[in-house]
Each structure stands twice: as structure tokens, then as C-alpha cells.
Amino acid sequence: MGPEAELLAALDAWQHQDVAYQPPWPDAAHLGAVRSRLATLPPLVFAGEADALRTQLAKAGAGEAFVLQGGDCAESFAEATADKIRNKIKLLLQMAVVLTYGASMPVVKLGRMAGQYAKPRSSQTETRDQVTLPSFYGDAVNSHEFDAASRVPDPERLLDSYHTAASTLNLIRAFTTGGFASLRQAHEWNRGFTQNPAYARYEEIAAEIDRAMRFMTACGVDVESLRAVDLFASHEGLLLDYERALTRIDSRTGLAYDCSAHFVWIGERTRDPDGAHVEYFAQVRNPLGVKIGPSATPDDVVRLVDRLNPAGEAGRLTFIARMGAGKVRDALGPLVAKTAADGRPVTWTCDPMHGNTITVNGYKTRRFTDVVDEVAGFFEVHRGLGTVPGGLHVELTGDDVTEVLGGAEEIDADGLARRYETLVDPRLNHQQGLELAFQVVELLRA
Ligand code: PEP
Ligand code: CO
């Protein structure tokens, strides 16, 4: 076999084993036809962009930058509107400004956006009032509506995912290069949000940035170079049929890139070092993430390094720890110590959301205090070991939803009902996101 045939065989090796957490597609031929169609469509991102992100993630792993990864638990097609996308970008940019200014640290900006349409479900079915239907697997697979027809997995939705990702990315690219992301707009991003303490603190930073920009302009520095920012796209690489169909061989290097997103991560449920997901993503050049929960052992994490980053390339592999506030201080240390002893670089980030989910009044929610506490524990573990706390991974939205308990607006159990909109997991709202960024600044400075 020549090198290209070998690579293609490696890219298809996962198909010879069971793939965990795939939806029950009822019609394999239909799925196959959609895969063929997807394979002919243009890439959504480019190899060079994924390479640039890898370089930035390497810096975060070395303590020279900090990763901010955020967005919906599950993006929906209906909410891929200009307003909602702009609000999310605005919040990410505001949090990044707080972190950059507060901690004097470049921030690697990564949206859980433009592709986060599929969810792994612990239960294949959902029962309401004695009616049992297939679970909701995300808009990439079926519809959230609770009726039999809506819940049938439909491969056409993979094409809708591609097109929705394309239009979302188009808007992201326009907003981040067309002047909207200019630091001159830092005040503007806060407009309409001035009643809360987090917003007042943000206004102070925006005023200081204005002053610094005027100073730099007076010194002859070209501040126009600050007009554009890099905001990369990421999602969980769950549906291997979709990811495989969007994988392209880069003509410059002959290497495979998953062109559905700059960064893909393997979820907590699919991170088996011998499983199909690890097998597949080992073959692509994108920077990769793996969620690491409290059941992971030191051996597991080293086996993941062996599989996904055998050569120890900096920036290739990010471990996203999601332990829970009560467990992070005990569970994380042995894993980080093991990767540090191994020596091959890993960028460690903290997802303080998924280990802290509780149910209150029938709503899936999280306590803001647990979120903050897990991040604090994450920093404590790294400071104790002399390793690098490289970033933050959060579920958030730019809108004023009421899905997470607490924060300066003190959303309580009864308040959840006011504006609970998420399709899967509860998200930080705009002010909770900003508040968390301020807390992380304190931790980065300590
Ligand atoms: C998620 O990020 O929405 C998710 C399902 O996380 P995890 O794989 O960590 O449970
Ligand atoms: Co989630």
C-alpha cells in the first residue's frame, strides 16, 4: 500500500469495531448516501487554521496563554440566528478581555460553536406520561419535540448540521474580522447590561483599555492591528459518520484533518483508549481534547497520550478535567502528576460544569458556587504540583437565561422557571459568565 492508501485504511479502521453512543439510525443506506454527499462538500475549516490553534494551545500548556472554551451544551438549528450567535461571541470576547487584561495573559478563544449539535445519551429512550420514545440525540440526529415522528433519527439532519455550521462560522468570521471584535468596541459589548456588579467591574476595565489604546496611539503604535481576533470552532467528535465524511487529506502535507471544526474533543463516555473514537481521532492532525472524569485512572490518561499523542507534540492534546467540586482536589492530582512524570506535554483545562449537575424542582441545574469551587480546586491541584492550569471549558449563552443557581443575581430554585431554555445541560448566563471570568483572574494572579 502507498502512503495515501494506508492513511485511508487507517481513517476507516474504526468501522471494524463497535462505536459507542451512536444513535440508532434506522436506515443504513440513507446514512451512507448522506455520508457520500457530505464527503463532496467544501471543508468548513482549513488545515492551516487548525495548525495555528495547535500552536496557541501549546502556549497554554506552557503557561504562556490561557484557553477559554465556551458555548452551548447543545447548539440548536433554531437558535443559529444572528442575534444569538452575536450574543455568544460578545460574551466570549468580554470574558477574554477580562482574562487578558486582568491576568496579562493571551487568551485562546474557542467556541463550543458551529457544530455542537450531537449529544451522547446515557439512556436510549425517554419516557413521559407512560410514552417511551428514542432520546433526543441533538439536532444533528433528531428533533427535541416529544412525538414519535420527531424522535426518529434522520440522516438528512447531518446535512443540516453542515449547513448550519457553515452559516454560523461565516458569521463568526465576519464578527471577528470585521471590526466588531476590535478592542475599541469593548464598551459596546456591555451595552444594555449595566445593572449588575459584574458589569460595573467590566466597565472599569473597558475604560482602562480605552485609555491604554489612546496612549498607544499617541506613542505611534498601530492599534488597528487589534481589530481582528481568532475565535476557533469546536465540538464533541461524537458522530463518527459525520466526522469521517468531513475529513480531508491536506494537499500540502498529505495528512488528514477533520475539517468539521478546528478542535474536536472526545467525551467522557467515549474516551476508552481502545474504543472507536480514540482510534479515529488518532488519525487526524487537528488539536484534540479528551474529557477526563473522576473515574479515570493514571494508567488511562497515559494510554490516551500513547494513542493520541505518541510523539509528545505540544498543543496536540488537551485534557479537559470535569471532576465535580467535591472530587477535584482528590481525583485530579494523581492524573496530572502522572502526565507530568510521563513528560509528553498535555494542556490541562477545567470543565467545572459536568461534574456538578443536580436536579432542583425537576430542572437539571448547577450551583454557581460549585462551578467556582471546582475551578479553585483545579488551580490548587496545579499550584501544588507545579504544573500549569491551562484553561477553562464552560457551557454558556449570551442571553439572560436562568439555568444555573446563584451568581450575583442570586437565581434561586423558584427563579429557574423564569427563563429555562436549554435543550440539554444548564448554561451560565451572560452575567454569570463575566463573574466567573473575574474569579478566574483572581486565581491566575495568585
Ligand atoms: C458535554 O460537554 O456536554 C458533555 C456531554 O460532557 P462530558 O463528556 O464531560 O460528560
Ligand atoms: Co453538557
How many Å from the N-terminal Cα to the C-terminal Cα in the chain?
Answer: 55
Nearest CA to ligand 1 atom 1: 73
Nearest CA to ligand 1 atom 4: 267
Q: How far is the CA of 397 from the centre of ligand 2 (A)?
A: 12
Nearest CA to ligand 1 atom 3: 73
Are 267 and 119 in contact by the 8 Å Cβ rule? The answer is no
Cα atoms found within 13 Å of the Cα of residue 201, Cβ hemisphere only: 19
User: Which residues does ligand 1 sit against, CB inside 6 Å?
Assistant: 73, 120, 236, 267-269, 291, 322, 354, 425
| Ramachandran assignment for 229, one of left (phi > 0), alpha (psi -120 to 50 degrees), beta (any other) | beta
In SS3 terms, 72-106 reads as: CCCCCCCCCCHHHHHHHHHHHHHHHHHHHHHHCCC
pLDDT at site 125: 96
Q: How far is the CA of 424 from the centre of ligand 1 (A)?
A: 10
320 beta partners: 291, 349
Angle between helices 368-385 and 430-445 (to 10 degrees): 20
Alpha carbon separation from 324 to 60, 296, 351 (Å, rounded): 23, 13, 9
- Which numbered atom of ligand 1 lies nearest the CA of 270? 8
Are 143 and 161 in contact by the 8 Å Cβ rule? The answer is no
Ligand 1, residues 269, 272, 349: which to mutate, most atoms within 8 A of Cβ? 269
Whole-number Å distance between alpha carbons of 355 and 323? 5
- Count of CB atoms within 10 A of residue 204's CB? 10
- Which numbered atom of ligand 1 lies nearest the CA of 116? 3
Strands 256-258 and 247-249, how do they pair? antiparallel
- Which numbered atom of ligand 1 lies nearest the CA of 236? 2
pLDDT digits (tens, 9 = 90+) for 370-385: 999 999 999 999 999 9
- Which numbered atom of ligand 1 lies nearest the CA of 425? 3
Q: How far is the CA of 266 from the centre of ligand 1 (A)?
A: 9
Whole-number Å distance between alpha carbons of 221 and 223? 6
Element (H, E) at 112: strand 107-112
Which residue is associated with the grid cell 494523581? 334
393 beta partners: 69
Q: How far is the CA of 6 from the centre of ligand 1 (A)?
A: 32
- Which numbered atom of ligand 1 lies nearest the CA of 73? 3
Ligand 1, residues 292, 322, 323, 403: which to mutate, most atoms within 8 A of Cβ? 322
According to DSSP, residue 6 is labeled H
Ligand 1, residues 119, 266, 291: which to mutate, most atoms within 8 A of Cβ? 291
Whole-number Å distance between alpha carbons of 166 and 170? 6
| DSSP sequence for 298-335 | HHHHHHHHHHH-TT--TTSEEEEE---TTTHHHHHHHH
Q: How far is the CA of 384 from the centre of ligand 1 (A)?
A: 27
Are 270 and 242 in contact by the 8 Å Cβ rule? The answer is no
pLDDT at site 194: 64
Q: How far is the CA of 270 from the centre of ligand 1 (A)?
A: 10
- In sequence order, which residues have a C-beta less than 8 Å from that of residue 208 and are 6 or more positions away? 101
Q: How far is the CA of 354 from the centre of ligand 2 (A)?
A: 6
Nearest CA to ligand 1 atom 9: 268
pLDDT digits (tens, 9 = 90+) for 12-30: 999 999 999 999 999 999 9
pTM of the complete model: 0.97
Give the ligand with the smallest distance to the CA of 266: 1
| Ramachandran assignment for 386, one of left (phi > 0), alpha (psi -120 to 50 degrees), beta (any other) | left
Give the ligand with the smallest distance to the CA of 121: 1
Ligand 1, residues 403, 425, 427: which to mutate, most atoms within 8 A of Cβ? 425
- Which numbered atom of ligand 1 lies nearest the CA of 120? 5
Please report the sign of the dihedral spanned by the C-alpha atoms of residue 232, residue 236, residue 242, residue 246: positive
Q: How far is the CA of 15 from the centre of ligand 2 (A)?
A: 26
- Which numbered atom of ligand 1 lies nearest the CA of 424? 3
Q: How far is the CA of 217 from the centre of ligand 1 (A)?
A: 44
* Full pLDDT tens readout for the chain, 446 residues: 888 899 999 999 999 999 999 999 999 999 999 999 999 999 999 999 999 999 999 999 999 999 999 999 999 999 999 999 999 999 999 999 999 998 899 999 999 999 999 999 999 999 999 999 999 999 999 999 999 999 999 999 999 999 999 999 999 999 998 888 888 888 888 877 767 777 888 888 888 888 888 888 899 888 877 788 899 999 999 999 999 999 999 999 999 999 999 999 999 999 999 999 999 999 999 999 999 999 999 999 999 999 999 999 999 999 999 999 999 999 999 999 999 999 999 999 999 999 999 999 999 999 999 999 999 999 999 999 999 999 999 999 999 999 999 998 899 999 999 999 999 999 999 999 999 999 999 999 98
* Amino acid letter, residue 28: A
Per-residue cell: 224 = 488597528
Alpha carbon separation from 131 to 126, 134, 139, 222 (Å, rounded): 8, 10, 21, 63
pLDDT at site 446: 87
Per-residue cell: 351 = 470543565
| DSSP-H helix ranges across 287-429 | 298-308, 328-342, 368-385
Closest CA to 257 of 3, 1, 7: 7
